[in-house]
Every structure is written in C-alpha cells, then in structure tokens.
Amino acid sequence: MTCGQSGMCLPCGGSDSCIGGSCSADPAWTITIDSAIISSIDEDGSAWDAFGGPLADAYVAGSLADDIGIRWVTETIDNVTYPNWDEEVASYLQSELIGDGIGFFVLDSDTASWETIGNCVMTITMGDLKEGTKTITCGDLVSALTIDFAPQ
Ligand SMILES: [Ca+2]
Ligand SMILES: [Ca+2]
C-alpha cells in the first residue's frame, strides 16, 4: 500500500506508519535514561552549589528534538558525578525516533530554580535501536549520557 504525498499520509492501519511512501511496521520503543558522567565543577570552575553539598543534584529533562517544551523529567539524584537514574521516561514510535532524535537537558536542581549542566540532541538510527543503548557527550560538562532503548 502506498501512502504519503507532500507530507500528507493516508491512514496505514494497525501499527504501521507511512515511511518513505509506503506503509511500514512502526513499533514503539521505550526510552530509559540510564546514567551520565558529570563534571564536579561548573564552566567557571566553581562548585555547582554553595550549600547542601558542592556536586550537582542531577536530573534529565527532554522531549523529541522537534517538540516544543519539556515532555518528561527524571528523578533528581543529589550530589553526584556519576548519576545512575535507570529510569524509563517515554515511549515513541520508531519513525519519530529516527526522524527527530531526542533532545536532552542535563540539569542541576537548585532550591527555587536550576542550572543547565548540558544540553544536546541525540540522533538515532535503526542500528542504535537494535544495539539497545547509545552514549553521547552532552556539552562540555557531561562527558557521557547513556540512553537505553527497548521494544515496547
Ligand atoms: Ca546549583
Ligand atoms: Ca548539590
């Protein structure tokens, strides 16, 4: 079955999506924020916090890269350089992941606000999904951000 002209898609039915002009299987994948490696000091060489422990109180927020705004947020882990969230945050269609990628903000939670530790976009290929995990740098202060993928 063919579909899609100039960005318009006819319904494909089932769990298929219009990919490259034909209806193709488009399974959902769950996204798990696994872990990160965060600098112990900020870009000015200062502690992340003056009170309550100098290391970052780290959490990750994000969405598909084309989305406006934040769609999900992890728990905060206090005073860490190697946060291990292992937290499932979202489920997206394969076509969305490969088409858009995911935008991430790694943040330091403060009393009434936050500081940005890093932000980045992860591009995702079919190979990455099959591998089940991908690690990227996320700005100068996050030397590794690891995301896991699993078929839903
Ligand atoms: Ca702070
Ligand atoms: Ca802290």
Q: How far away, in angstroms, is 109 Cα from ligand 1 center? A: 6
Of the ligands numbered here, which is closest to the C-alpha atom of 46? 1
Q: What is the DSSP string of the chain?
A: -B--BTTB-----TTEEEETTEEEE--EEEEEEEEEEE-SB-TTS-BS-SSS-SS--EEEEEEETTSSS--EEPPPBSS-SS-EEEEEEEEEEHHHHHHH-EEEEEEEE-SSSEEEEEEEEE---HHHHHHTEEEE--SSSEEEEEEEEEE-
Digitized pLDDT (tens) for each residue of the chain, 152 residues in all: 567 665 566 677 777 787 777 777 899 999 999 999 999 999 999 999 999 999 999 999 999 999 999 999 999 999 999 999 999 999 999 999 999 999 999 999 999 999 999 999 999 999 999 999 999 999 999 999 999 999 99
Ligand with minimal distance to 51 CA: 2
Ligand with minimal distance to 79 CA? 2
Distance from the alpha carbon of residue 74 to the mean position of ligand 2, in angstroms: 16
Ligand nearest to the CA of 113: 1
**What's the predicted TM-score (pTM) here?**
0.88
**45 Cα: distance to centroid of ligand 2 (angstroms):** 15
The dihedral built from the CA positions of residue 25, 30, 33 and 34, taken in this order, carries a sign that is negative
Domain residue extents for the chain: 27-151
**Ligand 2 centroid, distance to 55 Cα (angstroms):** 4
The domain defined by 27-151 carries CATH number 2.60.40.150:
yes
